[in-house]
Amino acid sequence: MSTHAPRRTVDVIDRRVGLLFGLFLLLLAIALGRAFYLGTFKSDALRAAAAVEHINTVTIPAVRGELTDRNGVPLALSESVDSVTADPVLIRHPDRVAAELAPLLGETASQVLPGLTKAHTQYVVLNDQIPASTASKIMNLGINGINDAGSEHRVYPRNAEAAQVLGWVGASGGVWGLEEQFNRQLEGTAGTRRVVNDALGQAIEVDTTKTMVPGKTLQLTLSAPLQSEVENVLAGVGAKYKPTSATAIVTDPQTDQLLAVANWPSVNANNITSADLKVNDQVAAAEDQAVGFDYEPGSTFKAITIAAALQDGVVTPSTEIYVPSELQEDGHTITDAEPHPNETLTVAQILKVSSNIGADEIGQRLGKARFAAWVSRFGFGKATGVALPGEEIGQILPLDKYYGFAMYNLPFGQGESVTPMQMVQAYDAIADGGVLRTPQIVDSLGGKAVAEPKGKQIISSTVAAELRNMLRGVLADGGTASGAQIPGFDLAGKTGTAEVAVNGSYSNSKFIASFIGMVPASNPKLVVAVVVNEPSNGTIYGGSVAAPAFQKIVGWAVPYFGINPCPNPCPASANASPVTSTP
């Protein structure tokens, strides 16, 4: 019987134990080596990874600055809203959750449920316009998988008023009007917040890492009550005369501050649609026509021609001019709106009855070179510099193109194009002693007042006063806007009725009716311009379409601003009874 078998068995067992022990030692060594490697060489990366799992950086949107009128009335402001989202992967019992959320979201449970059960996504927006107080109630429900994030919603409290001027805000900031022009100042700077969460995703520490800087408040020169009245007057013009479009501007000529800038048809800045942005044959409803509408000014330009002739000394208000019944020049026949025999009129009478032929005779005395220089001196052919986007510059004939018929249509406002803002700038100069300034729409930015423009003396105060006195006659008996006179008001102004050029020739059915006037004429405190594009319904003249709108605006604005409409001594024409105006 052998005694060696048990011994061999013991040896085999010892070897196996040794191998297992060696294997354990090897594994331990590998683990220690790995721990050493991670702790020494990968520690920073691991700490960053752990932070990503438990630390979130949250953006704090900047509060956009307000737009206000001159007295602080809000015209555009931002309201805090929240975006409520769902992570369907984390939501248990979606039917029950939908029933809880529906009343707070303003929807039915059946409308909410699809967002809670949407497959293959961990981010579903349930509503991105929830008031912050409602979002707080939702988060207090403590539903796992429901989250919210703060944002803001732009609101225009006065809806359509000054909408084309204010503009509106899109996803990337201001996209139109002053919202676009001053987007950088209004948008502010977003902040950031560091949020530390526990293993359950609950915030245990919140720190502000970058302070949010709100946008600056943009205070405008506009007067909200006046703006409302002007918009109402334009709406009446639109309803009565069915024009393509219309615009009106009211200024304080002594500062060139814009008190109202209105457009028709109106648009609601709280609900801009693609139809508002669609451009028709001439204009988009959302366009600010005060700076974006090019038109031939017609007879309102005669004041510029006569101002130049007065300043250059070629005529005086009492200079007599021979005015034939018609002019034949370069194959064209020039007539006046009302047929008349050959006659002699003073310069003041030519302006009062708006004689085209008389304006041409004055233009001939002035000459091409001087006329062209004065057109430029009054600011035509270049931007006014007003802080409104989309400003056009019109189209002015250069001197080297003054050939043939040019000096027989330019003096009465045909053959050149302007914008309503350019015409207001020129009439502001006439109203304020001959000083031409840049129109102002911004009163202050971030509480810092905008400096008044210095201005440039382009005609003497004497000539400006003479011109204003002549413009009184337009509203007196026999003037082209006599129907717009207000008894006891010292008014001055000029009508315009311009043919619209269509395919290279002037239309006999499309016209621009306009009126620009001021009060009181002796020391104007207000200048009002009304431009109506293609009025219909049987009436097309500036004296019957635009001048009555001027009358309504002035009649409201004078008592509102506490203006003495007729300082002593009051001209006799200011107390004349209104009569039916001549075209």
Is the Cβ–Cβ distance between 469 and 524 less than 8 Å? no
Q: What pLDDT, on a 0 to 100 scale, did the predictor assign at position 5? A: 56
Cβ count near 273 (within 10 Å): 11
Point out the least confidently predicted range of 117-126, 406-415, 558-567.
117-126
Q: Is 120 a domain residue?
A: no
Compute the residue count for the chain: 583
Q: Rounded distance, CA 431 to CA 522, Å?
A: 9
Is residue 564 predicted with pLDDT exceeding 90? yes
Point out the least confidently predicted range of 36-45, 257-266, 331-340, 513-522.
36-45
Confidence of residue 335 (pLDDT cuts 50, 70, 90): very high
Q: Is 248 a domain residue?
A: yes
E strands, 332-381, in order: 332-334, 343-346
Q: Judge if 330 and 243 occupy the same domain.
A: yes
| Phi, psi (rounded to 5 degrees) for 161 | -65, 125
Q: What percent of the chain has pLDDT over 90?
A: 62
Contacts for 482 with CB less than 8 Å, ≥ 6 apart: 474, 475, 476, 543, 576, 578, 579, 580, 581, 582
Across the range 488-514, mean pLDDT stands at: 94
Q: What pLDDT, on a 0 to 100 scale, did the predictor assign at position 198? A: 62
Provide the whole-model pTM. 0.83
Q: Judge if 215 and 275 occupy the same domain.
A: no
Among the candidates 164, 191, 220, a domain finishes at 220
- 304-325, pLDDT tens digit by residue? 999 999 999 999 999 999 999 9
Cβ count near 28 (within 10 Å): 10
Q: Judge if 148 and 193 occupy the same domain.
A: yes
Q: Is 348 a domain residue?
A: yes
Is residue 122 predicted with pLDDT exceeding 90? no
Q: Rounded distance, CA 335 to CA 332, Å?
A: 10
Confidence of residue 583 (pLDDT cuts 50, 70, 90): very low
Number of domains in the chain: 2
Q: Residue 466 is inside which H or E element, if any? A: helix 461-475
Q: Is 94 a domain residue?
A: no
Among the candidates 220, 249, 271, a domain finishes at 220
Q: Judge if 480 and 463 occupy the same domain.
A: yes
The number of angstroms, rounded, from the C-alpha of 512 to the middle of its chain's C-alpha atoms is: 23
DSSP 273-341: -HHHH-B-SS-BTTS-HHHH--B--GGGGHHHHHHHHHHTTS--TT-EEEE-S-EEETTEEE--SS---
Q: Decide which of 152 and 472 is more confident.
A: 472
Q: What pLDDT, on a 0 to 100 scale, did the predictor assign at position 21? A: 72
State the residue range of the domain holding 305.
224-575
Confidence of residue 574 (pLDDT cuts 50, 70, 90): low
Is the Cβ–Cβ distance between 548 and 480 less than 8 Å? no
Q: Is 363 a domain residue?
A: yes
Q: Judge if 160 and 212 occupy the same domain.
A: yes
Q: Is 99 a domain residue?
A: no
Q: Rounded distance, CA 566 to CA 579, Å?
A: 20
Q: Rounded distance, CA 148 to CA 142, Å?
A: 12
CATH number at residue 533: 3.40.710.10
- 4-61, pLDDT tens digit by residue? 556 666 566 667 767 777 777 777 767 676 666 655 655 665 455 455 456 777 677 7
- 267-288, pLDDT tens digit by residue? 998 988 766 766 455 457 889 9
Is residue 210 predicted with pLDDT exceeding 90? no
Q: Judge if 283 and 395 occupy the same domain.
A: yes
* Pairing mode, strands 526-533 and 505-519: antiparallel
Q: Judge if 170 and 270 occupy the same domain.
A: no
169 strand-pairing partners? 174
CATH number at residue 214: 3.90.1310.10
Point out the least confidently predicted range of 220-224, 479-483, 535-539.
535-539
Q: Which amino acid is at 468?
A: R
Is residue 173 predicted with pLDDT exceeding 90? no
Confidence of residue 190 (pLDDT cuts 50, 70, 90): confident
- 342-394, pLDDT tens digit by residue? 999 999 999 999 999 999 999 999 999 999 999 999 999 999 999 999 999 99
Is the Cβ–Cβ distance between 234 and 228 less than 8 Å? no
Is residue 103 predicted with pLDDT exceeding 90? yes
**Average per-residue pLDDT for the chain:** 88
Is the Cβ–Cβ distance between 372 and 402 less than 8 Å? yes
DSSP count for the chain of H helices, then E strands: 20, 23
Q: Judge if 543 and 435 occupy the same domain.
A: yes
In three-state secondary structure terms, 225 is helix
Q: Rounded distance, CA 543 to CA 545, Å?
A: 6
Q: What pLDDT, on a 0 to 100 scale, did the predictor assign at position 152? A: 77
Among the candidates 205, 220, 235, a domain finishes at 220
Q: What pLDDT, on a 0 to 100 scale, did the predictor assign at position 579? A: 35
Is residue 3 predicted with pLDDT exceeding 90? no
Q: What percent of the chain has pLDDT over 70?
A: 87
Q: Is 301 a domain residue?
A: yes
Q: Decide which of 40 and 464 is more confident.
A: 464
Q: Judge if 541 and 554 occupy the same domain.
A: yes
Nearest to 528 by CA among 486, 492, 500: 492
511 strand-pairing partners? 499
Is the Cβ–Cβ distance between 518 and 493 less than 8 Å? yes
- 419-431, pLDDT tens digit by residue? 999 999 999 999 9
Q: Is 45 a domain residue?
A: no
Q: Judge if 229 and 208 occupy the same domain.
A: no
Confidence of residue 577 (pLDDT cuts 50, 70, 90): very low
Nearest to 296 by CA among 90, 581, 7, 497: 497
Q: Rounded distance, CA 50 to CA 46, Å?
A: 6
Q: Judge if 234 and 167 occupy the same domain.
A: no
Q: Judge if 303 and 328 occupy the same domain.
A: yes
Q: What pLDDT, on a 0 to 100 scale, did the predictor assign at position 578? A: 43
